Amino acid sequence: MKTLVINNQKGGVGKTMLAVHAAWFLAESGARVLVIDLDPQANASYTLSNARPGGSSADLFFKPDVQVEPHPGVTILAGDRELDAVDAQLTRTVPAFRTAFDRVAGGFDYVVIDTPPTWSGRNYAALMVATSLIAPIDLETYALQGVKQLLAQKGSVEKAARQGRPIDFLGLLPSRFQSQSPRQRDSLQALLRQQGARIMYPGQGVLTQRQGYAEALDLRTPVWMIRKTAAQEAGREIRRVLATMKQRLDNLPGPA
């Protein structure tokens, strides 16, 4: 079992878009994929409402004896407002998540966790159990600031909750990238200069701003299933990114 966490404490950067496509992609070959939606906005849960329901993701924090039957395809543990209560009782809810996660996730081949845009006990819990982390970023103002914060949080969870066990960092993935915009291209170059290529998604992967992605979320279907030329192009782009992700996950050792 491998756990992919999509996280960046910045809103609207394409976390959910990537999370649901990662789940669809991983499930294509018959793998058992569990999606945990830790965002009370529940956008991933909406888009995956045709997937097999596994219950509420809040159960992981509040009912450590929770059980979810693993099946081939995508199973969704949906986000709900009860998740807002997690932070009020962190010393209880975070250890409960650890226990419930170990019990539930073991039967699946992959777990994909979508996270909310503000730092909270839920993001902490996600990083605590992550095999790999992808951080979608936008290249607008303050992107660099958010990156520093994210890397600091990753480091502190590794130290405090993983006995120093590192999270495999797939990197910063420019998402909604406007390749025609000189400002965005400059911003990408600045990021490379400041942080180095090592911190970026492998193979210089980027997801460009394309209508097809938004349409896919509304239609609740993978972008590569939409029969329009533009959507098919988007499908090829994101499948390249997801193939890199899957290869990386498959080559890593399982959880300790």
Ligand X SMILES: Nc1ncnc2c1ncn2[C@@H]1O[C@H](COP(=O)(O)OP(=O)(O)OP(=O)(O)O)[C@@H](O)[C@H]1O
- The binding site for ligand X (CB under 6 A) comprises 11-17, 39, 41, 43, 117, 175-176, 207, 209-210, 213-214, 217
Whole-angstrom Cα distance, residue 62 to residue 189? 44
Instruction: Decide which of Mg ion, ligand X, none touches 75; Cβ closer than 5 to 8 Å per partner kind.
Output: none
Whole-angstrom Cα distance, residue 52 to residue 75? 5
Query: To the nearest whole angstrom, how small is the minimum distance from the Cβ of residue 47 to ligand X?
Result: 9
7, 16, 56, 187: residue in contact with Mg ion (rule CB under 5 A): 16
Whole-angstrom Cα distance, residue 34 to residue 154? 23
Query: To the nearest whole angstrom, how small is the minimum distance from the Cβ of residue 17 to ligand X?
Result: 3
Whole-angstrom Cα distance, residue 111 to residue 101? 10
Residue type, 154: K
> Which of 15/246 has CB closer to Mg ion?
15
How many residues contact Mg ion, by CB under 5 A? Answer: 3
**Residues 28-87 contacting Mg ion, CB under 5 A:** 43
Whole-angstrom Cα distance, residue 72 to residue 250? 17
Instruction: Decide which of Mg ion, ligand X, none touches 14; Cβ closer than 5 to 8 Å per partner kind.
Output: ligand X
Contact 125, 90 (CB under 8 A): no
15 binding Mg ion? (CB under 5 A): yes
Do you know the residue count of the chain? 256
Instruction: Decide which of Mg ion, ligand X, none touches 12; Cβ closer than 5 to 8 Å per partner kind.
Output: ligand X
What is the number of the residue whose Cβ is closest to Mg ion? 16
Query: Strand locations in 86-216, DSSP E?
Result: 110-114, 132-137, 168-174
Kind and range of the H or E element at 225? none
> Which of 11/106 has CB closer to ligand X?
11
Q: Interface with Mg ion by CB under 5 A: which residues?
A: 15-16, 43
